[in-house]
Amino acid sequence: MHILVTGGTGYIGSHTTVELLNQGYQVTIVDNLYNSSIKVLDRIERLTGKRPQFYQTDILDLLSLENVFKENNFDAVIHFAGYKAVGESVSIPITYYQNNIAGSLNLYQLMAKYNVDNIVFSSSATVYGDNFQVPFKEEYGSGDTTNPYGTTKKFNEIILTDIAKANSKLSCVLLRYFNPIGAHPSGLLGEVPNGIPNNLVPYIAKVASGELEYLRVFGDDYDTIDGTGVRDYIHVVDLAKAHLKAIEYTVKHRGIEVINVGSGFGYSVLEILHAYEKACQKPLPYKIVARRPGDIATCYADTAKAKKLLGFECELGIDEMCRDSYNFTKMNPDGIE
Ligand code: NAD
Ligand code: WQD
């Protein structure tokens, strides 16, 4: 099977490409390298012995993207390409709607034109907003999103649902990721945040490497085990494997399914910090500061649907997540260059 992976040189896309190639899939990546390096292709080749076909193409460029469809015969698409920084999306919403909505529409339009009917879309637990009780269940639908980034994910879910209503051949899995962290155990692939990280584990990694002085813990007065925010962290390699299950599902079914991808467990900020201290074998300084606006106390997935429909369960725990994050950080002090 030939899979088009948009955003395939990015953090989750590169790990997914490795799993796809290892399982014998043919992979073509489309990425404009806005948030990733061309060197990722060398790393993927080192890990798999295979080099995916690569187009440095912006999905906003309809003519170039059409060229990719003309030159290939895809069986399915995994659509990762997009912007993902929550805070930035509040400052530059038009840019986010342009890239994540208009770019996606180009892709969906070409899929229809070239009869590519299977798609797995990168959605996010952020679409639940702050409306529901944990564990978050797919049947809740989506809530009021709290930032433009989240709204772009919610709109994509709605757009794909409408496309599925109009095209009975379409098979779509909307994967709602919880908090992906960690890196490839080889240390060759991982997350390379731009500037000072917004997310917890990339920030802790920079404290561990000495680049940042201490972690700011956003609030210790939530109604949680130790007062700090609780999230459902999933190892990026487990998440990558969930995409293979989702692709297998799309080829056997028609219609659209929303599926959570998380571990089903919640860890607090301090629990993650202490797990990371174990991984790097040193104490990591932190200070409690005010809550971060927009944060909720607790977020974790109901994973029953992923298990039932995809046969997917996480295999890696918090120790592996922190170990692999730290290993990647040590091995790549300048990122993937
Ligand atoms: P990433 O930034 O590492 O990867 C996205 C890739 O898309 C990058 O390589 C970037 O260069 C590329 N890209 C962006 N705009 C493009 C465009 N117009 N044309 C072509 N390529 C473009 O992000 P990631 O963490 O791997 O996330 C992948 C997807 O998963 C995103 O859609 C993101 O919103 C979603 N997601 C991520 C998380 C997370 O915490 N990382 C959680 C939930 C959902
Ligand atoms: C986790 C916990 C913070 C940084 C975000 C997006 C979501 C999805 C995943 C894309 C919270 C606390 C954090 C720090 C801290 N991405 N924290 N100090 O907010 O759960 O989810 O990434 O779809 O859409 O919103 O992840 O890693 O930012 O925060 O105390 O410096 O760590 O308050 O409790 P979040 P996060």
pLDDT of 131 above 90: no
Of the listed ligands, the closest to the CA of 243 is 1
Nearest CA residue ID for atom 23, ligand 2: 124
Please indicate whether residue 171, judged by its CB atom, sits closer than 6 Å to ligand 1. Answer: no
Percentage above 90 pLDDT, the chain: 98
The dihedral formed by the CA atoms of 187, 190, 194 and 195, expressed in degrees to the nearest 10: -50
Contact between residue 208 and residue 219 where contact means Cβ atoms under 8 Å apart = no
Ligand 1 centroid, distance to 7 Cα (angstroms): 6
Of the listed ligands, the closest to the CA of 206 is 2
Distance of alpha carbon 84 from alpha carbon 70, whole angstroms: 29
Distance of CA 139 to the CA centre of its chain: 21
pLDDT tens per residue across span 201-219: 999 999 999 999 999 999 9
Alpha-carbon distances of 293 from 90, 214, 289, rounded to whole Å: 12, 20, 12
Residues 306-334: what's their mean pLDDT? 98
**What is the DSSP secondary structure assignment for residue 136, as one 8-state letter?**
B
pTM summary value = 0.99
Pocket of ligand 2 (CB under 6 A): 84, 86, 124, 126, 179, 198-200, 203, 215-218, 229, 231, 269, 292, 295
Contact between residue 218 and residue 200 where contact means Cβ atoms under 8 Å apart = no
pLDDT tens per residue across span 212-255: 999 999 999 999 999 999 999 999 999 999 999 999 999 999 99
Residue 26: burial class (beta carbons within 10 Å; 0-12, 13-18, 19+):
middle
Please indicate whether residue 11, judged by its CB atom, sits closer than 6 Å to ligand 1. Answer: yes
Residues 283-311: what's their mean pLDDT? 97
SS3 6: strand
Specify the range with the lowest mean pLDDT, choosing from 22-31, 137-146, 184-193: 137-146
* Residue, of 201 and 142, whose pLDDT is higher: 201
Residue 143: per-residue pLDDT: 86
Residue 337: per-residue pLDDT: 85
Residue 86: per-residue pLDDT: 96
pLDDT tens per residue across span 157-200: 999 999 999 999 999 999 999 999 999 999 999 999 989 999 99
Pocket test for ligand 2, best of 200, 271, 295 (most atoms within 8 A of CB): 200
Q: Please name which of 218, 220, 192, 219 lies closest in space to residue 205, comparing C-alpha atoms.
A: 192
Copy the structure tokens of residue 10.
Answer: 């990015």
Provide the residue type at 34 as one letter: Y
| 249 among known catalytic residues | no
Please indicate whether residue 10, judged by its CB atom, sits closer than 6 Å to ligand 1. Answer: yes
Catalytic residue among 55, 96, 128, 149: 149
Pocket test for ligand 2, best of 154, 214, 269, 272 (most atoms within 8 A of CB): 269
Residue 95: per-residue pLDDT: 98
**Chain-wide mean pLDDT for the chain?**
97
Question: How does 49-75 read in b/e, with b if 16+ C-beta sit within 10 Å?
Answer: ebebebbebbbbebebbbebbeeeebb
